[in-house]
A and B are shown apart, each in its own frame.
Chain A
């Protein structure tokens, strides 16, 4: 059975801290891994990763995929209170139309 596991489940930091969120997966026919940010309602897209070792960056957020380790990390530097959210990792496989989500990491950034 396909599995997507995120860690930690919950994280509390202070503004300015750097955080690293982890996602590991066990799937057959891996196609891509996506990170989403969920604040109050709909998950919003952050990154899609298909190739190992290539860092994707957007402002203070960056992410990288390691296909050998079957994992990805999402880094947030100089965190702000607006980064408080649930960060979801999802994996797509070939020949399958859905996305499998991990349980998410709830990040709380305190002032």
Chain B
């Protein structure tokens, strides 16, 4: 069954460092998403991406965050200067078309900021 692949599964970084989380969405999917889940809290929407640009973003997705699709397969989330409160599980998700199909989630990347 097609799946969304995320790397790394766990990253530990120092506060102020840049982090790049990588995702390979399902190959025929067109819409890509990043969600965040702080330990013990709800899953929160960060950003959606379609046609090589951001289609929506939440208030969490500030100037420290950026997304990119550098080639035809990878979808990355960059955090420029990490803060302690960025520690969370970051989920990538994708779907084929807007609304009509469910999101398929990756297994997540756990980010720990020290």
A101-B107 in contact (CB<8A)? no
Chain B residues within 8 Å of A, Cβ to Cβ: 4, 31, 33, 35, 41-45, 48, 50, 55-56, 58, 89, 91, 98-99, 102-108
A97-B98 in contact (CB<8A)? yes
Expressed in whole angstroms, the Cα–Cα distance for A31 and B58 within the complex equals: 19
Expressed in whole angstroms, the Cα–Cα distance for A98 and B33 within the complex equals: 8
A residues less than 8 Å from B50 (CB atoms) = 97
Q: Is the interface of A mostly helix, strand, loop or mixed?
A: strand
Expressed in whole angstroms, the Cα–Cα distance for A36 and B35 within the complex equals: 14
B41-A103 in contact (CB<8A)? yes
A residues less than 8 Å from B104 (CB atoms) = 45
A residues less than 8 Å from B45 (CB atoms) = 98-101
A residues less than 8 Å from B108 (CB atoms) = 41-42
